[in-house]
Structure 1
Amino acid sequence: MNYEKFKSILLTVLVAISIFLTYSLWTYQPRYETIEDQDSPVKVTVGEKRPEDELASSLIKPFKLLYHQADKTLGTSNQKEIDKVMEDIGTWNVYDFSQVQLNEQDLKEVSKGENRIEIIFPDNVPLSVYSQILNLDSSSVPKADFDRLIIDLNDKGLDSSAVFFLPKEADKGGASVYTARVDQNSVNAFASRYLKKLSLQYTEYMEYALTDDRTIYLPLAKDEYISYQYFTDLDSIEDYKNALFIDGKSINLSSNGNVDTYISVYNLMTVNKNYNTLSFVYPTEEKVDPWPSSYLLTETMGFVNDHGGWTDKNFQYFSINPDQNKVTYRLFVQNLPVFNDQGMAEISETVGNSSVSKYSRPYFTLDFSSSDFSSSAVSKEKLPSGSSVIAMLQDTKNIDLDSVQDIVVGYKMTRNPEDSRKLNFEPSWYYKYDGNWIRLDTEQKEDVLNGLE
């Protein structure tokens, strides 16, 4: 084979190889392993979420139940007793809602007449939200709020009995209220189960008209309460940061003593390690116009639940301010509300345009690991009667009783000076004055009143 023929064959082979390699390169499809996108957002929760259909029943609870007899009023704030009553009422078929205008005398008969049950909530509750708890005919539930549920236990020989939903503003002077009907047999069965127990076990209450528009009920005699101490378990601040911030990668941290501040383009979170509280702000969500109360409650309950923030089961709905789009949930211990000047006992939320714009809360839970609450009991203490508390307020300078909006027994929460992991709970009288809850120093004032007798 001569040289020229060899070159021709070699060139042909090289061209064929080139064509093959080019074709292979064009048609080659490599096998890549699937790699998770590390930048994709991961939904972080602080604790376990609650089932959505249980949110309202676990957070919106009455905190006082009264039974009006002909000559006296009996009542309780025992949550277990109230839960039993509400569970029974929750089986009723409540129907035929209507709006009625009551004059002052009719309103008094409805709310304070003989053989009536009065169930009192901390603040107004939207009927549409509470329809998830009571067996209400959703097609007829009005857009209205109430803070008292009145049940007429008198059997008037009819097939049904009346229940009344009274808003906070309804008291003396007449008001427009909503009424509905309940099967009389259900009411009679309820009365037979509870009335004897109510009469024998409940405490007697006194009625006091704070103003022409507000009547409250206070224990008639001195009552004994228990002081408690509980350990605390801290939630993870890192979990709150990852759950709340929109952009978790561009967060800057600055520290000043026991206060840490986390800042991103969209959000700001301040953590106070002295009191174990945090405050989260989403400025672009701020809204001026008021939202309906039903939306405020639904949105705030869901917002906390979305990141598993109901870590302590002892928080309950406590107040709502539609003008400020603000809802507050308060810690309860032994059926009584807890108060703390540093915000350690409440979850406060302000709703903005499409979500919560301000969110403040503690980031600890109380350790109720002991099945016996008495194991955490420290001491017993008798608090003054309702009439004594009224006398103390009347005797206090710079207090206008017309500006007192409510009076309750609650717990004062303080950090234990000997062990920062412990919190002390001291029973005390509190009064709501111009929107703020203030502790009444009953020991000093009772000594003064006794000295004047």
Structure 2
Amino acid sequence: MVIGMRIKELIKSITLTILVISSIVLTLLIWNFTPDIADVDSELAKENTKSIGPRFESQINQVIAPLQLVHVHGTNIEGMPATREVNELSDIFAKQHINKVVYIENDQSLLLRELSDHFLILDYPTDIPIAIYLSDVLDVQAKVPNHFKFNRLIYDIDSAEHLVVYAIDETRHRAVKMTTSIKTSSAKNHLEELKMALRPYMNVSTNEDTVNKATYLYAPKAPENLKTYRTIFNHISVEDLNAILFDDTPIVRTTKSGNTIYNNNTGVVNYDPDRKTYHYTNLTEDEYSTRDMNISIPRTFDYINEHGGFTDDFRLFNTNKDQGLITYQMFLNGRPIFYPNQLNQILVSWGERGIFEYSRGLLKTNVTIDNGEKPKKLPTLEDVRGALASSNQVDYRKVEQLVVGYRMVSKKGPDNRLEIQENSQFEPIWFVKHEGKWYEFNDGELIEQ
């Protein structure tokens, strides 16, 4: 009995000691606790960022995106424009990795000896640094050649159990072969979901660098049932953009041409009310913008995205490393939209610490609907190819891409101003990339955009 009482007292003492120690520890933790406000600050910064559209809405895999997808299975060739469903093909890389990287180079046309007869092609409108694409778009890490850029990806979906991806540069002389941990069945399953949208495509050779299945140009064989769309635009406020780009209220003056100039000690804006275009230059940055696209592409994407600047389906369309200039272009239904005075584009260059130049059209689509007219049938690819090959004004060997896009048509009023609420249309038409520039194909002639 006495022993039992002693054990009970001992247990009480131990329990009391534990409670006292726990109380002391909790008190010390409370005294020394410093809340982690980094995430709070980040969210507040996002909320306080001025914007012209929904902030941080665009995903980078929807902005750094292809022009088209082509499915080659033996002699059967099909394809489609790069809709959002096509861009979601990058999702198969989630939580995957690259096991092996091999660099391939040929003096003449690239020859991929191990490429099977069943593969997917993703063609891009401009060359993209592979390191940025892997890390930012696909979220995978791999040791790849420094400064290698590509404008075509080939997914070999029949060569082995695991997906092999080839990144091919614009010269069609170099490639990076990447063996992944992705099951080829994943790519085939995604392809199965797209099959209803695939249409007959054809391959084209334009010179000695485009002479095999890995290097041919590919385009729709006979485009038909293409709708014209009518759209009504909203106007982006100049004051909203000024609030983003200027630290304080700028001085305003009007030039003889009717343009409005805004400026202060940090920057200057030229606003053209007739053309609906806006051009900003940062005076605090060096006149030479960054030439390294590994820096410029992700930073310009983040900058535009944080103030809601991707007001429509804008995609990376051109990278000019000589000028440090990046072009994001408007798309509709996975097809690029062309317009002569840059209403369809965002042009931006990055300086040492921030934006150096920023130009854009000040229209954003509000409502876009089928115009109700009979769908168009365009010239066949063979007709386009034949006209280009026989033209005295075109060097057929320098044709780089052929796509069906939209020509943006906006009516003008009696004072020559754009009537943005009246019957602006997106009309389907052939476009040709020739010597690095895009042209509208019109009855055998190329009209510069």
- Per the normalisation by structure 1, the TM-score is 0.76
Deviations 1:206-235 (A, max 9, x none): 211223335311222242311111001111
Say what the alpha-carbon RMSD is for the aligned residues.
Answer: 2.8
Q: CA deviation at 1:378?
A: 4.3
Alignment-derived partner of residue 69 in structure 1: 73
Q: Is the 8 A contact 2:72 2:120 kept in 1?
A: yes
Identity of aligned residues (%): 20
Which has the higher mean CA deviation after the structures are superposed, 433-442 or 188-197? 188-197
Deviation at 1:252, TM superposition (A): 3.1
The match for 2:187 among 186, 190, 203 is 190
Larger radius of gyration: 1
The 5 Å alignment of 1:13-412 reads 44-50=50-56, 55-87=59-91, 89-91=92-94, 93-103=96-106, 107-109=111-113, 113-130=116-133, 131-136=135-140, 138=141, 140=143, 143=146, 144-154=148-158, 156=160, 160-169=162-171, 171=172, 174-175=173-174, 177-183=175-181, 186-192=183-189, 194-195=191-192, 198=195, 201-214=197-210, 215-246=216-247, 248-256=248-256, 258-288=258-288, 291-310=291-310, 312-368=311-367, 373-374=369-370, 376-412=371-407
Residues 1:97 and 1:260: Cα distance change in structure 2 (over 3 Å): farther
Q: From the superposition, tell whether residues 97 and 273 of structure 1 become closer, same or farther in structure 2 (CA, over 3 Å).
A: farther
CA gap 1:98/1:210 in 2 versus in 1, 3 angstroms: same
Shift of 1:322: 1.5
**Cα distance in 2 between the residues matched to 1:286 and 1:145:** 26
Cα distance in 1 for residues equivalent to 2:283 and 2:114: 46
Match in the other structure for 1:39: none
Letter in 2 for 1:207: N
Separation (CA, whole Å) in 1 of partners of 2:224 and 2:113: 29
Q: Structure 2: any 5+ residue segments left out of the alignment?
A: 1-47, 211-215, 414-418
On the 8 A contact 1:92/1:182 being kept in 2, the answer is no
| Displacement after TM superposition at 1:304 (Å) | 1.7
CA 1:283/1:431 → structure 2, altered by over 3 Å: closer, same or farther?
farther
Take 1:118 and 1:61, find their aligned partners in 2: how far apart are those partners? 13
CA contact 2:329–2:345 (8 Å) conserved in 1: yes
- Aligned partners of 1:329 and 1:224: how far apart in 2? 28
1:120–1:149 Cα contact (<8 Å) kept: yes
CA deviation profile, 1:353-373 (whole Å, cap 9, x unmatched): 3222221101121013x7xx4
Superimposed CA distance per residue, residues 100-142 of structure 1 (whole angstroms, 9 cap, x where no aligned partner): 225468724466x401111222222223332233241x26455
1:97 shift after superposition: 3.8
Q: Partner residue of 1:23?
A: none
Q: Distance in 2 between matches of 1:228 and 1:201?
A: 19
TM-score by length of 2: 0.77
Residues 192, 50 of structure 1: alpha-carbon distance in 2 compared, 3 angstrom cutoff = closer
Separation of aligned partners in 1, 2:420 and 2:318: 29
1: CA distance, partners of 2:259 / 2:287 = 28
Which residue pairs with 1:451 in the alignment? none
Q: Do the aligned partners of residues 192 and 264 (structure 1) sit closer, same or farther apart at CA in structure 2, a change above 3 Å counting?
A: closer
Question: Could you tell me how far apart the structure 2 residues matched to 1:398 and 1:340 are?
Answer: 22
Deviation at 1:189, TM superposition (A): 4.2
Gap change, CA 1:229 and 1:257, over 3 Å in 2: farther
Structure 2 CA distance for partners of 1:178 and 1:92, relative to 1, 3 Å: farther
Q: Which moved more, 1:287-296 or 1:118-127?
A: 287-296
CA distance in 2, matches of 1:400, 1:155: 37
Local SS of the residue matching 1:308: coil
Structure 1 residue 296 displacement after superposition: 1.3
How many residues matched? 384
Q: Shift of the alpha carbon at 1:47?
A: 2.6
Supply the distance in 1 between the matched residues of 2:167 and 2:99 (Cα, whole angstroms): 13
Q: What CA distance in whole angstroms lies between the structure 2 residues aligned with 1:365 and 1:68?
A: 37
Aligned to 2:416: none
Letter in 2 for 1:439: E
- For the Cα contact (< 8 Å) 2:289–2:351, is it kept in 1? no
Quote how far apart the aligned CAs of 1:266 are.
3.2
